[in-house]
Amino acid sequence: MSSRSSYSCFSCFHLFLLVVLALFCLCSSNQNSHCNDVERQALLRFKHGLIDESQQLASWVAENKDCCTWAGIACDNSTGHVHLRRSLEAEMKGDISRSLLDLKQLKHLDLSCNDFGGIQVPKFIGSFQNLRYLNLSRSNFSGTIPPQLGNLSELHILSLGSFHHPSETTSMVNMKWLSSLGMLHHLDMSGVDLSKATDWLQVINTLPSLVQLYLSVCELSNLHMYVPSVNLTSLSVLDLSQNYFDSAVSQWIFSVTSLVSLDLTECRLHGPIPSFRNLTSLELLHVAENDFMNSSSIFQELSSSNLISLDIGSCGISSSLLDSLQNLTNLISLDLSGNQLTKRIPKSLGNFCNLREIDLSYNNIGNISLTYFLESFFECKSSALESLSLSENYITGIIPHSIGNLSFLRTLDLTDNQISGPFHTQLDNYHHWRSCILGQTDWMASFLIASDNFQS
C-alpha cells in the first residue's frame, strides 16, 4: 500500500490544535512560564465553539489562568507564547472560531482527525501569514479549498488529505494559488477531488522545494505525457495511486531521479515504460494493478536496485520473470498477490533472507505441497519472515514440523487451500505453537487458518 507521511494523522482518533507561536527552543519545564493573556482568551473562545465529548479540554478553564498547564499546551519559558507539548487523542466536533486570529504569531496549526460536520475550510486561515505547518486532513471538511491559503507563503508543510473520512468531499477547481507556496516541502491532497484541476502538474512543477507529494485518490485523469522540463529536483516521495489514468506511463516521472518512494498503485498504466535505471535512490515501488510491469527488461533493471518494499500485485507476472530479482536481498516487504505464479516457485525467494512480509495469495499455484513451498525460506540461515500469506493457491499436504524454524513468524494465512492431516495433533507436539496461539510467547501474534482448509 501507499506510503504515508509522518506528518499525517497518527490514528483516526488523533486530535487537535498544535500551536507554535515562535521559533524558540522549547524549555523542558514550564515552571517559570506564564501564558499571554490575549492568547489564553483566544484559546478559551476557540474551545467554546467545540464539542468536547471526551472532556479532553477539561483543564481549559478561565479559573486556570496559566494556559501553559492546559492539556496539549506548553509555553516558551522566555516569552510565554504557546507551544506544543503533546497531541490529544479524541475527535472534536463543532466550529472553528475566528478567535484564533488573535494568535498573531501562529506558526503551527493542526486541526486534523476531527469531525467538523462538512463545513468549508475557513477562509480566515489564509490570514496566518507566519504559518509554517498546516494540517487539515481527515476532519470532515467539504466544499472548495479556499484559494486564500495561497497567502501562506511561509508554509513548509500543507496537509489537506481527506480520503480517510467517508463523508469528506473537498475539491479544487484551480490550483494556481499553490504556486505562491514556494517554500513548500510536503504537500498532501490525497482524496481531494482534482478532476477539474487540469493544470495540476504545471502548478506542482513550480514548487522546486517539494520533497513529498501525495495525490492519491484525487480523480486525476491526465498524466501529462509531454512535459518540456521538470523542476522537481528535490522530490523523494511521489504518490499518484488510485487515479485511473488509463494511459501509457509518462516520461516525466522517470526523470525525477531523486525519488525514493514511488506509488502508482491502481493507475491502469500501460507499457512500454521508460527505464528505471535513472531512479538509483528508489527504495519503495508500489505498482499493483498496472500491466506495464509484465516485462523481463524491467525486472532486469530492478535487479540492481536497493528496493526494500516492492508491490507488484495483480500485474500479470509469471514465475520466470521473478528469477531476475534474486539480487534484491534488501527486500523487507514483497507483494506478489494476484499474479500467475503457477506450478513453479520463483528461485529468487530463497535469496530474500531479510524479508519480513510476503503476500503470494490468489496465484492458483496448485499441486505443490506446503513443505516444498516452504523450502525456499529454509535456505536462509536465519529467516526474518514475520508474515506469510498463501491464501487461495490450492496448495496441498500437511503443515510440516519444520515450519517451527520460522521463529519470527507472526501471521500465516492458508485460507482456501487443500491442507490436510492431523493439524491439532501437530500443535500438541509443539508446545511453542500452542503457547503462541494462547499469546503466551512473542513469536506468533496471530495464526489465520480457516477451519474449512483441513480435511479429516
**The model's pTM:** 0.85
pLDDT digits 0-9 by tens, 103-145:
887 888 888 888 888 999 999 999 998 899 999 988 889 999 9
Residue 169 burial (10 A CB sphere; 0-12, 13-18, 19+): middle
Q: In angstroms, rounded to a whole number, what is the distance separating the alpha carbons of residues 129 and 126?
A: 7
- The CATH superfamily of 293-451 is Ribonuclease Inhibitor (3.80.10.10)
- What residues does each domain of the chain span? 293-451
Asked if 358 and 386 count as a contact pair (C-beta separation under 8 A), the reply is no
Residue 455 dihedral angles phi and psi, to the nearest 5°: -100, 135
**pLDDT exceeding 70 applies to what percent of the chain?**
81
Contacts of residue 384, defined as CB under 8 A and 6 or more positions apart, other chains included, come to 353, 354, 355, 356, 408
pLDDT digits 0-9 by tens, 91-101:
889 999 999 99
In this predicted structure, what is the pLDDT of residue 455?
46
**Of residues 4, 1, 284, 5, the one with CA closest to residue 156:** 5
DSSP string, 430-442: -HHHHHHHTT-SS
Which is it for the CA torsion 78, 66, 14, 446, positive or negative?
A: positive
Query: Residue 385 is which amino acid?
Result: L
Spell out where 148-185 has E strands. 157-159, 169-171
Q: What is the DSSP letter of 420?
A: B
pLDDT digits 0-9 by tens, 265-324:
999 998 888 889 999 999 999 999 998 888 888 998 998 899 999 999 999 998 888 888
pLDDT at 329 over 80: yes
More confident residue, 275 or 74: 275
In this predicted structure, what is the pLDDT of residue 5?
43
